[in-house]
Amino acid sequence: MTTLHDFKLSGIDGTERDLADLRGKTVLVVNVASRCGFTPQYKGLQQLHQELAPRGFTVLGVPANEFGAQEPGTNDEIRSFCETNYHVTFPMTAKTVVKGDGQSPLYRWLTSAATPAGDVKWNFEKFLINGRGEVVGRFGSGVSPESQELRSAIQSALG
């Protein structure tokens, strides 16, 4: 069975990230964009990360430009934007294709393993992964990081 821990990605800084390093952690994988109406969710994602990291939680930000070309920047520009505007400290990948031609193997797996299965519909869609690397939740863009629905699911996954 495939899990999150079977994938490797480039980090936003260009170094390779082996997602096996996240074994045992609850992870919220989010496709992010700098010029989207949902971009202010970075603030809530950072708060979740800071608050729950001591319990084995992390956010994994995945910049993507498939929706309205709302992430046109380079990896350096994206990293600078996130650090400057939202003080992001959670890990981020290099810009990644999350839908359509050239879809990354990670997103091919996420969108088939999640319930409901199917393509990512917009920026800031969230996939919740348990410590074993299994998808245990999927949340649309409109579900904010502060929402009780998402927070309850994370608490449940944390055990």
Residue 27 DSSP class: E
Domain boundaries of the chain, sorted by first residue: 4-158
Query: In 19-108, where do the E strands start and end?
Result: 26-32, 57-63
Distance CA(94)–CA(78), nearest Å, equals 9
Told to judge if 82 belongs to the known catalytic residues of this protein, a careful annotator would answer no
Of the candidates 141, 129, 140, 142, the one whose C-alpha atom is nearest the C-alpha of residue 28 is 129
- Backbone phi and psi for residue 89, each to the nearest 5 degrees, phi listed first: -120, -10
Over 90: is that where the pLDDT of 149 sits? yes
pLDDT of residue 21: 96
- Residue 77 is predicted with a pLDDT of 97
- Decide if 26 contacts 150 (C-beta within 8 A): no
Confidence of residue 99 (pLDDT cuts 50, 70, 90): very high
Q: Give CATH for domain 4-158.
A: 3.40.30.10
What is the gyration radius of the CA atoms in the chain, in angstroms? Answer: 14
Q: pLDDT-based confidence at 1, cuts 50/70/90?
A: confident
Q: How many CB atoms lie within 10 A of CB 54?
A: 7
Q: Does the pLDDT at position 22 exceed 90?
A: yes
Which residue among the candidates 6, 11, 36, 73 is catalytic per the annotation?
36
Over residues 23-66, the pLDDT tens digits come to 999 999 999 999 999 999 999 999 999 999 999 999 999 999 99
